[in-house]
Amino acid sequence: MDVYQGVNNLITKKEVEHVAKLARLELSEEEKERFTVQFSNILDYFNQLSEVNTENVEPMTQAIPMVNVMREDKVQLPYTRDEILANAPLEEDGFFKVPRITE
Amino acid sequence: MLDTKHCFKTVKDLRKALLNREISAVELVDESYKRIEEIEDKVESFISLTKDLAYKTAKEVDKRIKIKDDLPLLAGIPIAIKDNMCTKGFHTTAGSKILENFVPPYNSTVARKLEENFIPIIGKANLDEFAMGSSTENSAFKKTKNPWNLNMVAGGSSGGSATAVCSGESVISLGSDTGGSIRLPASFCGIVGMKPTYGRVSRFGLIAYASSLDQIGPMGRCVEDVALTLQAISGYDNMDSTSINMPVPDYTATLKKDIKDLRIGVISEMLGEGTNPEVKQAILNSIKVYESLGAKIEEISIPHSQYAIATYYVIAMAEASANLARFDGVKYGYRAKNTENIMEMYLKSRSEGFGEEVKSRIMIGTYALSSGYYDAYYKKAQQVRALIKKDFDKAWEKVDLLLSPVCPTTAFELGAKISDPLSMYLMDIGTITANLAGLPGISVPCGFDSKGLPVGLQLLGPALSEETLLRSAYNFEQATDFHTKHPEI
Amino acid sequence: MTAITQEIKDKYETVIGLEVHAQLKTKSKIFCDSATEFGNEHNSQVCPVCMGYPGVLPVLNKKVLEYAILTGLALNCEIARHSKFDRKQYFYPDLPKNYQVSQFDMPVCKNGYIEINGRVIRINRAHLEEDAGKLVHAGAAGLAGSTYSLVDYNRTGVPLLEIVSEPDINSPEEARNYVEELRNIVRYLGVCDGNLEEGSLRCDANVSIRPVGQKELGVKAEIKNMNSFKALQRALEYEVERQVELIESGGKVVQETRLWKEDEGITISMRSKEEAHDYRYFPEPDLVPMEIDADWVHRIRETMTELPAQKRVRYIYELGLSDYDANVLVNSMEMAFFLDKVIDLKANVKSAVNWLMGDITAYLNENKTTIDKTELTPESLAEMIALIDKGIISNNIAKKLIIPLLEKGGSAKKMVEEQGMSLISDEGALKETIKKILEANQGEVEKYKSGKPQLFGFFVGQIMKETKGRANPEAVNKLLKEELDG
């Protein structure tokens, strides 16, 4: 039995592991246990939203409504490759180098 | 030996001194660095100092003063900017280990505007990592202390920007406000901080936390300094699709007009049981000041504000989970050593590069957007957000501005809430509605509690009502003396 | 794979849906002002915005939206009044932000169709998105076995229009025809190069089979990596056969992504993902929604060129071309555009088509080029045809002219004049030559007159030889007859 499980059990350790993977985060055992409790509490708090009647309410996706902001199809002078690669953790022949890609 | 006698002066006085050649811009920058040398160990406002940048600008200002060239109003005035705004050629970390060595090859629009206005940037101010926090304890590099009491937090996430101004290290500063991150530290440090209308100041080059909520704004020791700073950074930017394409009014022109017959609504939900009695008393006193200035006061309810924290955190964490996906060790930033394959590289770089709170928010945000939960969390929050906006629209039918405490309490002790994120989130109850609705808000000093910690008064207005907000704050400030007090460090 | 008889195949119906990605030919990228042009050095056409640097923001290229609307109209789509962008999230090193700005539930175009040989193929939607970068795998030919990879972000942020068909396609051949027609359309509109080999047009297929008469769809496999029309058809033919065989032998098709291996001529299963895709779409907060009013759509519609299908109809019904000729010409856009210009110059259509379909096509095929890349102009072809029609040169002379015109260009008329290639039609001159030939060949004349009329051709040949082919054949026929028979 998972003794550290949050009181509300809104999220299981397994789900925390799944979400961590989706987000490309690696958690220690200790973190997994702690996050499971914390997330349960936070999700429990979030669940008060279900009290609100939102029937026929359009989701608000913009703080200030605006439409059709566009630029003309014009090319500017590019950045040099050196500028772009200056921050690269690892490069090779002007490419960004990454370890073996496994699916 | 340099002194620091100009460190607490106003922009207006400093400009006079510069133009009269009482002090040069370079000397003014010297004084800032001198002050930093004196107290930085104690307050820890800065992640990095940008001396080359500051002196280059100051020298240019002195050159122009010599030939009596016209200079923008803030030319030569030392400014600190939060370290989540990109400065070309200078480290920009967002308070995170993952960006510890990051040097952007581009300027944020605000940094560009500061340069165009010849405003010397003296350093990059500390913040909660990626602006996620309300205390500036979440920085990967240092914990900023409250200048009024070094055992207390400065508030966050723009804590360094607040303490730099409060302690005289810089005259003015820029912060960013996603859920109160300018107004809360301004309140805890007893200075003025403003969150402009969403889109008034360009977000280009501001390292994103939550795109639909983030907004850059000015901080200063008096309302006029804040108005002048806002003037310098506002305006349309074709690099930011969400930038408002409307002319910027002259914010100082109307500051001194009175506020007779201005209708001010007191948000009833914000003076309830959760609010500390001393904070409540300071607010009640402030209301009396406004009445004496001729304003009409009435109580206004924002019924859905009780859901604001949940709404805010769902949206902010969801957007953050996507915004922070780019930090993966491929193109820039921290990369874990000796990894076998790409998955391991991602996992290790991100886990070692991000702090606890950031990881926690990324994960909850990921969860809120994941298959099967989107409707219950993200979509629901966007709907409640619409209802909160509607509550405000109704309020504006009755009043011109809304008044409340910035925060239910004054500054709390370092470490007091760090292990209980939810209790930390509750500090944002007063400020986050403005971010959700895209509205401008200002935090003004309005008293001290029995421990000598500042209390902040918040005014909120309809979109693009910055002029009215600044005028109302200025009138209040001139009728009180809280802004004239500075901490002894 | 053992051969499956046609009889067994006929028990099943093939169902194919296609997702086609068309790179839009704008000058700058979809959300920033970096150039889209290729062939340049790797990582040289990038900026902080397309590289997903911290703090940068996207701004939509207006031309991209206009190209999407134009294409949508050509595909008979409804153009959305309201549209928006969303973030599609997944981690991959060629995707700088680790989310792709795409469109989820409000695409610019939906509910369209095109006709393929009289059959309607419905189009579910066409939406905009940004392209990803390119990976170079080191230490091996492909991803498998590579020890590390290198990333080039030049392609990142190039605008893509993803055109998604309904599963209305019922054979690999029809799939090929559908993609060929899409290619024609985007090329005629000038919004995309349509090059499968170079990847400016890319296509993935969802393939399933079901017993004839069955209503519900079978389990589908997604096929990727088909880089030519031939590969597309071969891959789908292979896949259909694989599925038939699998079911016939008691197995089941599993939903998976399969990779076409061109060299081996097979599709193989890509290693199954450890986690199912959960793209966590949500509206892109850094971009504002699009509102496309009827007026705007109307203005874009007015810029629409004649589409391939319309051109085919015109060629058949107005120009009297055969279905075959019309198809060949329309499917080669450069030829069709060339023909239209020749027609505008009032040239003889039938001759023009014969020249294009005959000698010119042969030349182009031999030299692996297209007509727009040769030196031949519509003007010079029209001029050459006029010279033939007026009897100034013969067809045979023209055949000698066409190669220099293709290779060096210039005017047909000038060439004829300079090289003295015009026909000799002057009767006096021709009679002289005829007399000369007949005198030199007395024996043959005797034989002809004593009943060997087939020798007439011999005399014509000698006359042509003498005039270097310039004698007007009609005049020669007439005059020779008079001389011999008269």
pLDDT at C274: 46
At residue A84, φ and ψ (nearest 5 deg) are -70, -35
For C405, the enclosing helix (H) or strand (E) is helix C395-407
Q: Does A10 touch chain B (CB under 8 A)?
A: no
pLDDT confidence bin for C276, thresholds 50/70/90: low
pLDDT tens-digit profile of B415-461?
Answer: 999 888 888 898 899 999 999 999 999 999 999 999 999 999 999 99
pLDDT band, very low/low/confident/very high, at C2 (cuts 50, 70, 90):
low
B328 close contact with C: CB closer than 8 A: yes
Contacts of B209 in chain A (CB under 8 A): none
Contact B241 C58 (CB under 8 A): yes
Q: Which two tokens stand for residue C354?
A: 């014969």
Do the chains contact at A25 and B345, CB–CB below 8 Å?
no
β C82-83/C60-61 pair status: unpaired
The contacts of residue C265 (CB under 8 Å, 6+ apart) are C234, C238
Using a CB-CB distance cutoff of 8 angstroms, which residues of chain C are in contact with residue B325? 89, 91, 97-99
Interface of B with A in 230-259 (CB under 8 A): 238, 241-242, 244
Residue B67's nearest CA partner among B107, B106, B103, B19 is B19
> What is the nearest CA distance from C256 to chain B, expressed in angstroms?
20
Which stretch of B101-110, C29-38, C207-216, C473-482 has the lowest confidence by average pLDDT? C473-482
- C43 in contact with chain A, both atoms CB, cutoff 8 A: yes
Tokens of B349: 């770089």
What residue type is C328 in one-letter code?
V
Query: Would you please indicate which residues of B are annotated as catalytic (active-site) residues?
Result: 82, 157, 181
* Per-residue three-class SS string for chain B: CCCCCCCCCCHHHHHHHHHCCCCCHHHHHHHHHHHHHHHHHHHCCEEEECHHHHHHHHHHHHHHHHCCCCCCCCCCCCEEEECCECECCECCCCCCHHHCCCCCCCCCHHHHHHHHCCCCEEEEECCCHHHCCCCCCCCCCCCCEECCEEEEECCCCCHHHHHHHHCCCCCEEEEECCCCCCHHHHHHHCCEEEECCCCCECCCCECCCCCCCCCEEEEECCHHHHHHHHHHHECCCCCCCCCCCCCCCCCCCCCCCCCCCCEEEEEHHHHCCCCCHHHHHHHHHHHHHHHHCCCEEEEECCHHHHHHHHHHHHHHHHHHHHHHHHCCCCCCCCCCCCCCEHHHHHHHHHHHHCCHHHHHHHHHHHHHHCCCCCHHHHHHHHHHHHHHHHHHHHHHHHCCEEEEECCCCCCCECCCCCCCHHHHHHHHCCCHHHHHHCCCEEEEEEEECCCCCEEEEEEECCCCCHHHHHHHHHHHHHHCCHHHCCCCC
**pLDDT recorded at residue C453:** 83
Which residues, at least 6 apart from B227, have a Cβ–Cβ distance to it below 8 Å?
B251, B252, B255, B470, B474
Say what angle helices C172-189 and C333-344 make with each other, to 10 degrees. Answer: 50
Residue C202, pLDDT above cutoff 60: yes
Q: Is C464 exposed, middle or buried (0-12, 13-18, 19+ CB in 10 A)?
A: middle
Q: Among C39-43, C123-127, C155-159, whose mean pLDDT is lowest?
A: C39-43
Rounded to whole angstroms, the Cα distance separating B108 from C55 reads 8
Chain A residues near residue B350 by CB distance under 8 angstroms: 23-26
Task: For residues A59 and C138, give the distance between their C-alpha atoms in angstroms, rounded to a whole number.
Answer: 47
Q: Which of B365-369, C2-6, C388-392 has the highest mean pLDDT?
A: B365-369
Instruction: Count interface pairs B-C at CB distance under 8 A.
Output: 99
- Please give the residue of chain C at the shortest CA–CA distance from B105: C48
Quick one: pLDDT band at residue A2, thresholds 50, 70, 90?
very low
Of B172, B170, B51, B176, which is closest to residue B109 (Cα–Cα)? Answer: B176
- C345: exposed, middle or buried (C-beta count within 10 Å: 0-12, 13-18, 19+)? middle
Structure tokens at B190: 């007893």
What are the start-end ranges of the H helices in C123-253? 172-189, 229-248
Of C44, C135, C149, the CB nearest to A78: C44
Residue C165 CB partners (closer than 8 Å, separation 6+) = C17, C18, C19, C20, C121, C122, C123, C124, C178
Q: Which residues of C touch A66 (CB under 8 A)?
A: 288
Q: Chains touching chain A at 3 or more Cβ pairs under 8 angstroms?
A: B, C
Residue-level pLDDT at C244: 95
User: What three-state secondary structure class fits C329?
Assistant: helix
CA distances from B228 to A18, B81, B222, B249, B444 (A): 49, 15, 10, 11, 16
Distance of alpha carbon C171 from alpha carbon B140, whole angstroms: 59
Nearest to B388 by CA among B443, B319, B460: B460
* pLDDT > 80? residue C421: no
The mean pLDDT value for B168-181 works out to: 98
Compute the radius of gyration of chain A from its Cα atoms.
Answer: 23
pLDDT band at C40, cuts 50/70/90? confident
Indicate the helix (H) or strand (E) that contains C64. Answer: helix C62-74
Residues with Cβ within 8 Å of C32's Cβ and at least 6 positions away in sequence, in order, are C47, C49, C50, C58, C59, C157
Q: Is B237 on the interface with C (CB under 8 A)?
A: no
Q: Calculate ∠ Cα B115-B121-B122, nearest 5°.
A: 160
C4, C108, C113: which is closest to C66 by C-alpha? C108
Measure the CA–CA gap between B165 and B215, rounded to whole angstroms.
Answer: 19
Taking residues C332-343, report their average pLDDT: 95
Residues of B in contact with A72 (CB under 8 A): none
How is C351-380 classified by DSSP, letter by letter? HHHHHIIIIIHHHHHHHT--GGGSS--HHH
Mutation target to probe the A interface, by most A beta carbons within 10 A, among C288, C291, C293 is C288
Tokens representing residue B425 in the block: 């989130």
In the chain, the amino acid numbered A10 is L
| Residue C346 distance to chain B (closest CA, Å) | 51
- The whole-angstrom separation of Cα B183 and Cα B174 is 12
Percent pLDDT > 90 in chain B is: 94
- DSSP 8-state code for residue C273: P
Residue contact A103–C273, C-beta within 8 A? yes
Given C60, C96, C278, which is nearest B326 (Cβ)? C96
Distance of CA B281 to the CA centre of its chain: 25
Residues of chain A contacting B385 with CB distance shorter than 8 Å: 59-60
The H-or-E segment that residue C125 falls in is: strand C119-130
Pick from B311, B344, B386: CB nearest A58: B386
Which residues of chain C does A23 touch, with a Cβ-Cβ cutoff of 8 Å?
A: none
Interval C5-31: pLDDT, tens: 888 889 999 999 999 999 999 999 999
pLDDT confidence of residue B3: 65
Pick from B85, B318, B371: CB nearest C278: B371
Those of residues 425-444 in B touching chain A at CB distance below 8 A are 435-438
- Whether C141 shows a pLDDT value over 80: the answer reads no
pLDDT at A6 over 50: no
Partners of B410 in the β-ladder: none
What's the whole-number average pLDDT of chain A? 89
Residue A94 tokens read as 């002007």
Instruction: Name, in order, each residue with C-beta under 8 angstroms of C247's C-beta and a sequence gap of 6 or more.
Output: C12, C209, C253
Q: Does C54 touch chain B (CB under 8 A)?
A: yes
The H or E element that residue C474 is part of is helix C473-485
Cβ contact B344–A99 (<8 Å): yes
DSSP 8-state symbol, A9: -
Q: List Cα–Cα distances, B129 to B94, B136, B170, B212, C471, in angstroms.
A: 6, 8, 22, 19, 92
pLDDT tens digits along B48-79: 999 999 999 999 999 999 998 889 999 999 99
The span from the CA of C374 to the CA of B368, in Å, is: 59
User: If we measure between CA atoms, which residue out of B323, B398, B315 comes closest to residue B364?
Assistant: B315
Q: How high is the mean pLDDT of chain B?
A: 96
Q: How far, in Å, CA of C300 to CA of C197, rounded? A: 30
Q: What is the predicted pLDDT for the residue at A1?
A: 33
Interface test with C, best of A68, A72, A87, A97 (most C CBs within 10 A): A68
Neighbours of B (≥3 Cβ pairs closer than 8 A)? Answer: A, C
Q: What is the DSSP string of C227-259?
A: -SHHHHHHHHHHHHHHHHHHHHTT-----EEEE
pLDDT tens digits for range C290-337: 999 999 999 999 999 999 999 999 999 999 999 999 999 999 999 999
Give the mean model confidence (pLDDT) for residues B104-122: 98
When pLDDT is cut at 50, 70 and 90, the band that residue B183 belongs to is very high
B355 is written with which tokens? 């702090």
Angle of helix B25-43 relative to helix B11-19, nearest 10 degrees, comes to: 140
Q: Going by C-beta distance under 8 Å and a sequence separation of 6 or more, which residues neighbour residue C441?
A: C458, C459, C462
Quick one: closest CA in C to A25, which residue? C91
Residues B201 and B261: their CA atoms lie apart, in Å, by 30
Partner A contacted by C136 (CB < 8 A): yes
- The answer to whether the Cβ–Cβ distance between A78 and C91 falls below 8 Å is no
Q: Give the C-alpha separation, C119 to C309, whole Å.
A: 13
Is there a contact between A70 and C270 if contact means CB atoms under 8 Å apart? no
Q: At what angle do helices C62-74 and C172-189 cross, to 10 degrees?
A: 130
ipTM, interface predicted TM-score of the complex: 0.96
Contacts of C368 (CB under 8 A, 6+ apart): none
The residue of chain B nearest to residue A61, with distances taken between CA atoms, is B382
Cβ contact, residue pair C150, A92, below 8 Å: yes
